[in-house]
Amino acid sequence: MTLYILKRLAIGIVTIWFIATATFIAMHLVPGNPLANEKATTEVIRANLERRYGLDKPVTEQYIIYMGNMLRGDFGIAFSEENRSVNDIIREHFPVSATLGVLALLFATLGGVLWGALTAIYRNRWPDYVIMFFVILGISVPSFVFAALSQWLILNLNQVTGSSILPVAGWGNFRYMLVPALVLGMSTMAYLTRMMRSSMLEVSNTDYIRTARAKGLSTTRIFIFHQLRNAILPVITVLGPAIAIITTGGFVVESVFAIPGLGRYFVQAVAQLDYTVIMGTTVFFGAFLVLMVILVDILYSFIDPRIRLQAEQ
């Protein structure tokens, strides 16, 4: 077990290092320059600015300095905003993205398990057809369309009822989070529903369910303690990738709903070619995702020992 965790962590660290290096190289291949704006009017000012941000040093030295700083958890200073460190930006904007993401993940898993179980129970009857229709819709319609559509719906709803229970955009208390989180979790929910459905149907054909039924256990008991528990297992495996999808999906939802999250900030930083912010957020996002996937995998190996054995072989 320890070996398994160590191995996963080692791959994870290499991945994060590679992400950081690739980001660094990509940044330096860009023909544009973050200082190529109205700030650097004369050569002297330009040289001074370059010295300040360490851009006058050779690339290898910059790389070493950057890596060293990153190991200490320091991502540098933002170019676009005077005297604002990238750490500050992440500290300010990441909690917003994380709150949204956690809520979306919650919706997606709860919804996915619930709908998936329902479709399996009512297999080939109308609840199954209705839910599966929406699942197909959820898989096929891009999230920005859902976002736009939900905004339009909220607007009309607010007009009809004459109230503003659900705000159209912005960030604040739970009322602001509800719809964006639903939109963000939508496609993941659809995938999980599909997965849960086939996994439930698979489990219902197993011997131990037949045995339980033969023992005379009640349907509810079999459903909750035998079927559901086993069927949920494969759903947990995709939670890692689901976190990645939801985090990056936040780029769209955050821009459509004008939510001050890190995803929206990242998109803006790319548009402004803000070196340090792009590098900082990429490495941060990358590290976060890699760690999440590892965490989910380790969690899964605790829940289902068969996976652990497979990995150690």
Partner 1 sequence: MNKAFAPALADFAPAPARQKMDTISRPSLSYWQDAWQRLKINKRALVSLYLVLGLLIFTLLGPILWNYDPALQDLDSISQAPSFSTTALFVDDPGIWEGVLLQESSTLPPVTGQSAVLGATRLNIEGTATTQYVRLSWEPVEGGAYYLVYRNDHQPESAEDLGLPLGQTLTARELSFEDRLQLQPQTYYYTIIASGGLREASDFATEAVELERAITVSQALERNLPATPGTRVELSAHPFGTDYLGRDLLARTMMGAQVSLFIGIAAPFIFVLLGVIYGGVSGYFGGKIDLLMMRFAEFVIALPFLLFMILFRIGFGIGPGESGIFPMLVALVLLSWPNVARIVRGQVLQLREEAFVQAARLLGANPAYLIFRHMIPNTMGLILVTLTFAIPMAIFTEAFLSFIGMGVAPPTPSWGSMSNEGIRSMLSTPHELLFPAFFISVTVLAFNLLGDGLRDALDSRMRSRE
Q: What kind and span of H or E run contains 166?
A: none
Residue 77's SS3 state is strand
Nearer to partner 1, 136 or 165 (CB): 136
Q: What is the DSSP string of 222-279?
A: IIIIIIIHHHHHHHHHTHHHHHHHHHHHHHHHHHHTT---HHHHHHHHHHHT-HHHHH
Residue from 1, 32, 219, 225 touching partner 1 (CB under 8 A): that is 32
Main-chain dihedrals φ then ψ at residue 116, nearest 5 degrees? -60, -45
Whose structure tokens read 């890190």?
262
Structure tokens at 79: 């170019």
x-or-dash pattern for partner 1, window 123-162, by CB under 8 A? Answer: -------------xx-xxxxxxx--x--xx--x-------
x-or-dash pattern for partner 1, window 178-197, by CB under 8 A? Answer: --------------------
Nearer to partner 1, 48 or 310 (CB): 310
Nearer to partner 1, 48 or 206 (CB): 206
Q: Which residues contact 267 (CB under 8 A, 6 or more apart)?
A: 251, 255
Structure tokens at 68: 């060293």
Using CB under 8 A as the binding rule, the residues of this chain from 39 to 58 that contact partner 1 are none
Residue from 118, 293, 301, 308 touching partner 1 (CB under 8 A): that is 293
Q: Given the rule CB under 8 A, which of 7-15, 74-82, 83-91, 219-227 is the region that contacts partner 1? A: 7-15
Query: How many residues make contact with partner 1 (CB under 8 A)?
Result: 49
Please give the Cα distance from 284 to 35 (Å, whole number): 24
Q: Which residues bind partner 1 (CB under 8 A)?
A: 11-12, 14-15, 18-19, 22-23, 25-27, 29-32, 136-137, 139-145, 148, 151-152, 155, 198, 201-202, 244, 248, 251-252, 255-256, 267, 270-273, 278, 282, 285-286, 289-290, 293
